[in-house]
Structure 1
Amino acid sequence: MSHARHTEEIAARWLLRQQEDGWSADDQTELDAWLDAAAEHKVAYWRLEHGWSKVDRLAALKSPSAAPRRISRLRGFWRPVAVAASVAACLAVGAAVWSVPGLFQAKDFHTDIGVRETVPLADGSKVELNTQTRLRTAVTRRTREVWLDRGEAYFEVAHDASRPFVVHAGAKTVTVLGTKFSVRRNGDQVEVAVVEGRVRVADASWPAVTPPPVLTRGDTAIAAGPSMIVAAKSVERVANELSWREGVLTFDQSTLADAAGEFNRYNRKKLVIADGPTAQMRIGGSFEAENVEAFARLLQQAYGLRVDDTGETVKISQ
């Protein structure tokens, strides 16, 4: 058995174990240790995980109870058969990738509240992680893949026509060759904004009845589940949406409730809007993302709102 196949078989066994009842904290610790032991462990596991989740989504579309039945069948099957079938689905990884040292980079990154981080990738691309973001990367000689599990990231992708750069954000896949764009994920809601170049946004869980939309400079796509809308925005508005890269939040006639939600992504001290009329007030301007107190003072001065600072929250009311 090749080294690549052996690694994929172990990864498949881990995924099968996670589906069983009784998965414990000790089991998770053991899995984490195996993943951290080698970069190829992470890549094999992530590829299988993504492939299986896609199968589950397609099965669920066909029948709401199909995915649970699939898991039950896997539990009931002789495990080597299930493992072999799963490994066969991932042979595209290629044994050559694993057998030659230095051909891959597999890492995961996360940022805490209010923290931003710039991550260089092995192919020359660069990723900027916004607050409360978790990102996994797998860059090989043949492929370039990223999984955005939560949060927001800005990508500057090095051009390489032979290796499309693919971002997986839930059921959505964003594919590019070389461009600058951002992806924000909150559960199954995904937003893509393009600063430069062209990106294709597809849904892995739905059949491609029509070609997936291609976004160009100034375009934004907002998706919730299988639904997606593409809006042609000005380059200036897209730049405002990315002002977080400079530590600034920019609002253009946003409700105070939405503005408070944005501030709360960056700060442990939370803004609380006390009543409906105050929540629906419209505001505009640019503000320091990590200075809740200054924002509250401006609201008090400009609109005469009441501000109550408890130390843990800032309550805004009329």
Structure 2
Amino acid sequence: MTDLHRAAPSPSDLDAEALEWFVRLNRGRGAEQNAEFQAWLAGHAGRQAAFARWQADWQRLDGLPAAGVQQLRRQLAADQAKADRTRAAPASATRRAWLQGWSALVPQAAVAAAVLLTAGGGSYLAWDHWQQQPVFVQNFSTERGQQLDVQLPDGSRLRLDTATRVEVALYRQRREVRLPEGQALFQVQGDATRPFDVLAGAVKVTVVGTRFSVRHTANVPGDDGVRVAVEEGRVRVATVPAAGQCAHPGAAVVTLAAGQQVAADAAGHMAPVGPVAAAGAAPWRDGRITLDDVPLAQALAEFERYGPTGLVVRDAAVGALRMTGTFDPRRLDNFRQALPKVLPVRLQGEAPHTEILAAH
């Protein structure tokens, strides 16, 4: 046990002594121990405040799972008992050893340990850290040609298109979905206390309750940015800094209403807000690909997201020809038949090795 009569202890020593007394008193208080405790309190003006901090921090653990708190209590008592037996290390060393071993505890107890091992304002930071831990985490993905409907615990629904991956994390105070690749339609359950964020590329979409689609196809040439289209409600779209960079005051922020959409390039630079195309915010949910004046090479890359096309373009001038139309990616034969009718091209070779050539 720390020397109770040491003169002018430092704040860290006071904190370590208070922790020792806190543990001892939690193991049981006899008359002799109570007298020693009162003598310790009277020995320095700062001891009462140090002990009160430990009591306040422990009370903060009421909201944590009981099993985790009990495990923490046992670990703390065991470490202190070991120090009492050896008498070989000062309380601060025992405390450091406990800190080093806390990662073996269950996650909730580890956070509880963080609360107890910090003093003053640090306790708030640790408690806030616990509050920020997700209550639901799961990843969802689709293969080429596959779509998937997902219902989240908060009541929100997601429709994933082909070759799409999302990472969902629901927190106590917010909801977050990352879209590394693909496109999805979001129907968000309204909850003013928990905003819903979608992070895609260099863009963050924030809503409370609405229906909108987000596309992020980094591997599609000419369409490697992010596109957001709103069917119902309103969404806020903002550029976000790349990893390791700070946000700047000039970052673009737009608010979209129903029937509006915006596109951003891979760096987050946004085009002007425009109307949602006549085909809707997410024509792919009905099994359609809508091409709006896009290069043929990009159109082929879009079809490839749904499955192999067997079509190749080697002539850059042919790949640059632009086309418009709506097609069913499951009926590639219709697309093949339409190509020579809408573009000055011809097909050479049989599937699955067909080259698209200039008509002349």
Shorter-normalised TM range: 0.5 to 0.7
2:132 and 2:172 in contact (8 A); partners too: no
CA separation in 1, counterparts of 2:126 and 2:185?
Answer: 29
How far apart are the structure 2 equivalents of 1:97 and 1:304?
Answer: 57
Classify 1:207/1:277 alpha carbon distance in 2 versus 1 (closer, same or farther; 3 Å).
closer
- The equivalent position to 1:186 in structure 2, one of 208, 217, 227, is 217
Match of 1:251 among 286, 291, 298: 291
Q: Do 2:339 and 2:345's aligned partners in 1 also have CA atoms closer than 8 Å? A: yes
Distance in 2 of aligned mates of 1:116 and 1:145:
21
Q: Does 1:94 align with 2:130?
A: yes
1:76-115 equivalence runs, <5 A: 92=128, 94-95=130-131, 104-115=135-146
Cα gap change, 1:122/1:164 in structure 2, threshold over 3 Å: closer, same or farther?
same
Secondary structure at 1:202 match in 2: strand
Say if 1:189 and 1:224, in contact at 8 Å, map to a contact too.
yes
Q: Give the distance between the partners of 1:312 and 1:214, measured in 2 at CA.
A: 45
2:355 pairs with 1:315: yes
CA RMSD of aligned residues (A): 3.5
CA-CA distance at 1:273 after TM superposition: 2.1
Question: Which amino acid in 1 is paired with 2:176?
Answer: E
Determine the C-alpha separation between the residues in 2 that align with 1:212 and 1:168: 14
Structure with greater strand share of residues: 1
Q: 1:270 to 1:183 in 2, by over 3 A?
A: farther
Match of 2:265 in 1: 224
Deviation at 1:112, TM superposition (A): 0.9
Counting aligned pairs with the same residue, the percent is: 33
Alpha-carbon distance in 2 for matches of 1:169, 1:116: 19
Name the residue aligned to 2:255: 214
- What are structure 2's unaligned runs of at least 5 residues? 1-57, 69-105, 112-123, 219-223, 242-246
Unaligned runs of 5+ in 1: 7-37, 45-87, 99-103
* 1:281-302 deviation digits (Å, cap 9, x = unpaired): 3322211112323211222355
Instruction: Tell me by how many angstroms 1:97 deviates.
Output: 6.4
Moved over 3 A (4+): 1-4, 88-93, 95-98, 208-211, 235-238, 300-305, 308-314
String of CA shifts for 1:264-315, please: whole Å, max 9, x gaps. Answer: 1111234322323432333222111123232112223555732235544432
**TM-score of the two chains, using structure 2 as the length reference:** 0.57
1:118 lines up with 2:149 in the alignment: yes
Q: 1:228 and 1:255 mapped to 2: Cα distance?
A: 21
- Counterpart CA distance in 2 for 1:213 and 1:287 is 31
Q: Which amino acid aligns with 2:326?
A: S
Output aligned runs, 1:233-244, within 5 Å.
233-237=274-278, 239=280, 242-244=282-284
Q: Which has the higher contact order (CA 8 A, sep 6+)?
A: 1
Give the structure 1 partner of residue 34 of structure 2: none
Q: Distance in 2 between matches of 1:223 and 1:109?
A: 24
* Aligned pairs for 1:1-318 within 5 A: 92=128, 94-95=130-131, 104-187=135-218, 189-205=225-241, 206-209=247-250, 212-237=253-278, 239=280, 242-301=282-341, 303=343, 305-318=345-358
- Could you state the TM-score of these two structures normalised by the residue count of structure 1? 0.63
